[in-house]
Amino acid sequence: MLDGDHNMDTKKIKIGDIAKKLGINIQTIRYYERIGMIPKPERSLSGYRYFTEDFVKRIEFIKKAQQIGFSLDEIKELLKLKVSSSKNSKRVREKKKQKLNLIDKKLARLTALKKVLKELVSVCEKKGTTQPCPILQSLDEEDNCCGND
């Protein structure tokens, strides 16, 4: 079938070629297959997995969604919405809004943390090396920063 003459169907791509093209590990692709993020690919008589360009695009979608902060569970849901009817565009927008709100909250926490660390570094630079480090002291304190109410 697919063994022997790979040029017969140039649209079939080996797992190693996909991994190399996308800069990911082969095990990542196998993991996506195991958890159902990509369908099981066609196999040659010798057992090699052969993927189509659609598989590659799906994996690219997964990687891009991860890069902007979506978890694998969230991506699974987005993939389901992507495959189903166009009525789901409202749900996709809602998922993106939820992720944006989460990112805004993380940014606010990181901004607060950055401010605290800048202040600590400033205090540390003003104190001599013979005095205890204010950064280490602040980490020993219970309620020291970042809105931990």
pLDDT at 146: 55
pLDDT at 63: 93
Residue of 113, 123, 119 whose CA lies nearest to 147: 113
pLDDT at 5: 41
Long-range pairs of 61-67 with CB within 8 A, sequence gap ≥ 24: 62/32, 62/37, 62/38, 63/22, 63/24
pLDDT at 72: 92
pLDDT at 104: 87
Q: pLDDT means per 10 residues in the chain (149 residues)?
A: 43 89 93 91 84 91 90 87 68 81 88 85 69 68 55
pLDDT at 130: 56
